[in-house]
Amino acid sequence: MKDAAPARTALGAVPEAAVARRDRTVLKAERVSVDFKVKGGETFRPLQDFSIDIAEGEITCILGPSGCGKSTLLRALGGFLRPEETGGVLWQGRYLTRPNTDIVLIFQENNLYPWLTARGNVGFGARYRMGRAERRRRVEDMLARLGLSEAADRYPHQLSGGMRQRTAIGRALVSDPQVLLLDEPFSALDVSLRRRMHQLLLKIWAETHKTMVMVTHNVEEAILVGHRVVVLGGPPAAITRDEDTRAPSLKDRYHRDFLALQKTLEDAIY
Amino acid sequence: MISESAKGIGIGIGFVALLIGLWELLGARGGVALTAVLPPPSQFLGTIAESGFKIGLGAQAAPVWDSALSTLGRVFAGMAVAFVLAILTGALLSLSKVATWCLRPVLHILAPIAPIAWIPTAIVVFGISNMTAVFIVFMGVYFVLTIATLAEIERVPAEYLTVAENLGASPAERWVSVVVPAILPGIFMLLRTNFLAAWMAVLVAEMVGLRDGLGAIIMMGRNLFNNELIMFGMVIIGVTGFLVDKVLALIGARLLWWRS
């Protein structure tokens, strides 16, 4: 008899212990340096010898002032940039050299293809990976889970901002990647919509336990959504704070612990 | 309530009708020199109707619709070939920076040459045939569209391609399912604006070289000193061009639906 593994995809079936573990690193940045050529032959180096471990099944939020290299870090984690010299991003024991379908990046804007409907956008990646019937089933299921069934035949310009971001999330999730990278996904949304998107993201996490890395400049968002909040200074990016934010008192916007941490982090950033 | 656009169309039709009425009035009074050269519709339509809308002498006479169709066929064939080849050229050039550097100046030098300027060369190479007309239309549209394709490809947001690559699309699949749909509306819009240039080029080709088509009607009228025929040809050219532009606008609206 072997032990039954906890059912990780069913909502609510995950024991607290599984939530709290930080034992397995899935994605590891190892002394990553990234150079950008700027006009006039100079180079700009947002990342220099930067290292971070991303734990499996955890939501890591990355905070930092504008231009500190946090978006560059996110792109490096997805294999979208070619790191310079030594070091790199380790994924399943190998250095990433190009993007792959297991690590999916969601942008803040220009996310959706304007010539496809919400349904077409959600199914975009799936068309390269599965048969027609399977794709159809998964797309309809994803649309329903994200509350987009009614709007499935609309084009992006006919969708609200929240619907657009939900469609982008659906497209990323439909082929079941292992890691989601989110680059300020909700910063264009108003406060109430943003809070609903936080709930949705946490619901998705509860159902799937995906590893997520989210870059944001909203401290409140980072503490409420993240299991771990990393504050970057720079450029070049350097970790100035690394907080465990899983305590229930940090999920209450008016709790003194939450407010205290919010102040500490804001002071660290600005 | 009548919508603003319906009101605009109604007033437009009314104004054209008023102009035709005025024209008829001048023609009916007689003795006006202008209407001898520019006979009003009732006169030139009457004359043409007598011959059953057939144009030409004796056995060579052919219905005017044949002329319109052959002109339209030439324009559309030339534009379709140019449209497809321009996208293919743009695609190939966008794959190679060196090819772009070499060919871009060539395109920019060839583009401003009026299609009409190609007529003598085309007649020498292709003789008096449909090929000549198609070639002239092609030359009038192809270079402009290729330049536009290159510009449109550069304007495709980098995120579109990053997302596709991330989701597992191969380079060829990225071309077919991201770049082509992203650039198509812009290129089609340019195709529509270039239709008038292509239309004029083919008419001139028909006047100076080919023996049929709407342009040839004008030349026949000139050779026969037949003002009714000239006037009829001009009106047919104007109305056909107007209709084609509207059809292209409709197709464009289908292609451009997501840009609204």
Residue A118 and residue A201: Cα distance in Å, rounded?
A: 19
3-state secondary structure of B55: strand
Residue B10 and residue B4: Cα distance in Å, rounded?
A: 10
CA-based torsion, B234, B239, B244, B246: positive or negative: positive
Cis peptide before A235 (omega within 30 of 0): yes
Residue A106 and residue A94: Cα distance in Å, rounded?
A: 23
Q: Which residue of B has its CA nearest to A179?
A: B166
- Examine the pLDDT at B45 and tell me if it is beyond 90: no
Q: Token match 């197709």: residue?
A: B251
What ipTM does the predicted assembly reach?
0.79
| Interface mutation vs chain A, best among B161, B163, B254, most A CBs within 10 Å | B163
Average pLDDT over residues B228-235: 85
pLDDT (tens digit, 9 = 90+) per residue, B93-120?
888 888 888 888 888 898 888 888 888 8
Mean pLDDT is lowest, of A191-205, B42-56, B81-95, B208-222, for: B42-56
Q: Decide the pairing of beta strands A59-63 and A179-183.
A: unpaired
Set of chain A residues whose Cβ sits within 8 Å of the Cβ of B177: 124, 127
Cα distance from B186 to chain A (closest Cα, Å)?
13
Res. B1 pLDDT band, cuts 50 70 90? low
Average pLDDT over residues B136-156: 89
Contact A107 B178 (CB under 8 A): no
Name the token pair of A238: 């350097």
Cα distance from B113 to chain A (closest Cα, Å)?
35
Q: Name the amino acid, one letter, at A185.
A: P
pLDDT at B259: 59
What's chain B's average pLDDT?
Answer: 83
Q: Closest CB to B166: pick one of A104, A109, A127.
A: A104
- Examine the pLDDT at B55 and tell me if it is beyond 80: no
For B8, list phi and psi in degrees, rounded to 5. -60, -45
pLDDT at A13: 37
Contact B162 A80 (CB under 8 A): yes
Contact A110 B165 (CB under 8 A): no
Greater confidence (A86 vs B144) lies with B144
pLDDT (tens digit, 9 = 90+) per residue, B237-256?
888 888 888 888 888 877 66
Q: Decide the pairing of beta strands A103-106 and A94-95.
A: unpaired
β-partners of residue A116 are: none
Cα distance from B258 to chain A (closest Cα, Å)?
6
- Examine the pLDDT at A16 and tell me if it is beyond 70: no
Average pLDDT over residues B208-226: 82
Nearest to A269 by CA among A66, A34, A106, A103: A66
* Residue A87 DSSP class: -
Cα distance from A21 to chain B (closest Cα, Å)?
29
pLDDT at A2: 41
Question: Residue B127: which residues within 8 A CB-CB, separation 6 or more?
Answer: none
Strands (E), B61-149: 62-63
pLDDT at A262: 87
- Examine the pLDDT at A84 and tell me if it is beyond 70: no
* Residue B31 DSSP class: -
pLDDT (tens digit, 9 = 90+) per residue, A124-183?
887 777 788 888 888 998 898 888 888 888 888 888 888 888 899 899 888 888 999 999
| Interface mutation vs chain B, best among A105, A106, A107, A113, most B CBs within 10 Å | A113
* Inter-chain contacts counted by CB atoms under 8 A, chains A and B: 59
Give pTM, 2 decimals: 0.75
Q: Which residue of B has its CA nearest to A126?
A: B167
Res. B81 pLDDT band, cuts 50 70 90? very high
Contact B47, B228 (CB under 8 A): yes
Q: Token match 């002329």: residue?
A: B67
Residue B132 and residue B122: Cα distance in Å, rounded?
A: 5
pLDDT at A37: 76
Mean pLDDT is lowest, of A11-20, A34-43, B2-11, B48-57, for: A11-20
Q: Which residue of A has its CA nearest to B179?
A: A113
Set of chain B residues whose Cβ sits within 8 Å of the Cβ of A78: 166
Contact B167 A115 (CB under 8 A): no
pLDDT (tens digit, 9 = 90+) per residue, A19-50?
444 568 888 888 877 877 777 777 777 778 77
Contact B159 A110 (CB under 8 A): yes
Contact A181, A106 (CB under 8 A): yes
C-alpha R_g of chain B: 23
